[in-house]
Amino acid sequence: MTSRAGLIIKNDSPYMELFKSKTLISYTQKILENPIDILLDDSWITRIFDWADENKVDELHYINKGFNSKYPRGLPRNKKELLELEELNLSKYNLTYLPREICNLTKLKKLHLYKNRLRFIPKEINNLQNLVELSLSKNNLSRLPDEICELENLEVLALFENSIASLPTKIGDLKNLVKLNLLGNELRILPSSICNLEKLDSLSVFNNNLEYLPNDIGNLKNLTELLVNHNYLVELPQSVGNLEKLRVLWLYENRLEELPSSIGNLKELTDLWIYGNYLKTIPNEVSSLSNLKELWLSNNCLIALPDNLDKLINLKEFNLSNNKISHLPCELASLKDLTWLEVDKGVSLSNNFDEFIQKSVLSFN
């Protein structure tokens, strides 16, 4: 029997079953309201505080950035403040590991771990479902846990200057990712699923070991910046011409021998840097890039230039040095916005360039 508030309830009575149900509902509600306190004791919080003390992590404070802006640094030693934390900045503490208990801070939206000595990330990272920004740059990471691909709200992922040789095959599951920075790693290939990141605005993979880009790279319809310089690219997929919002394309210091004609479809392109390759020709379609402001073709094997360069009406900088071009087409002199032109000393100029020389910088390499 059970006695409650002066009542005697038999254990096998319907009232006892109702009492048990109400108790279970009340307990479940407490779990939902505060899962960390109910499901785990406070020892995990103590472990975080001990780890922070051992690694000389500062007490949470705010640093003035100017213009009435501040950013946080350090970790609070107050339980309530820790559990409510939305931004955690643990950058530049020389950390060698991250305790998995950090992944219990489920209200985190931004986690900064820049410039430490981390070799791995706990697989429990997928608990941080509110995370929108994750900075892991300048660490010693060689791989990422597959669970990182479950961070459905992630918008910014910074991984530059690590030793990452491959990405999780499900990287394309990060459907809300807007910026992905992978420069300075050891990537040889990009998984095809990366082409599923439909919201991606900026992709930086320069200073890696890439020989090819995925054939479906053109699926990244919202991409405005693609930085692939300092790799080993031997060709570009035709689908690159589908990147209709692309404004900046860096391809310099690769092994390209030709460009796809589809590059002429990049009507929003303003910066095209292709110097330091093995290009012998440039497709005529480049002349249709009417928004182009910077065109760098130096250090290639060019013997001629595309036709109709006078259509590049917004061109401001044009570098042609260290090629095999013997003369410049006279229509270049008609480009009114062109203020800087660099060519080899032996290149012949027509009389059309007399006026151009007076108003612009003509540099001989």
Cβ–Cβ under 8 Å, residues 353 and 329: no
The pLDDT assigned to 327 comes to: 83
Rounded Cα–Cα distance for residues 359 and 87 (Å): 52
> Which pLDDT band, with edges at 50, 70 and 90, does 362 fall under?
low
Cβ–Cβ under 8 Å, residues 245 and 222: yes
Tokens linked to 253: 């210091």
Global pTM exceeds 0.75: yes
The pLDDT assigned to 37 comes to: 47
Rounded Cα–Cα distance for residues 336 and 330 (Å): 13
The DSSP line for 148-191 is GGG-TT--EEE--SS------TTGGG-TT--EEE--SS--S---
In order of 201, 202, 325, the CA distances from 198 in angstroms are 9, 11, 41
Tens of pLDDT along 25-76?
554 454 445 544 444 578 999 999 999 999 999 999 999 877 777 889 999 9
Q: Which CATH number fits domain 14-323: 3.30.70.260, 3.80.10.10, 3.20.20.150, 3.10.580.10?
A: 3.80.10.10
In the predicted structure, residue 240 carries a pLDDT above the cut 90: yes
Higher pLDDT, 96 or 24: 96
Rounded Cα–Cα distance for residues 189 and 169 (Å): 11
3-state SS, one letter per residue, for 12-62: CCHHHHHHHHHHHHHHHHHHHHCHHHHHCCCHHHHHHHHHHHHCCCCECEE
Which position has the token pair 């900064």?
A: 112
Cβ–Cβ under 8 Å, residues 93 and 118: no
Q: For 38, how many CA atoms within 13 A lie in the half-sphere containing its CB?
A: 10
Q: Which of 82, 62, 59, 81 is nearest to 71 (CA)?
A: 62
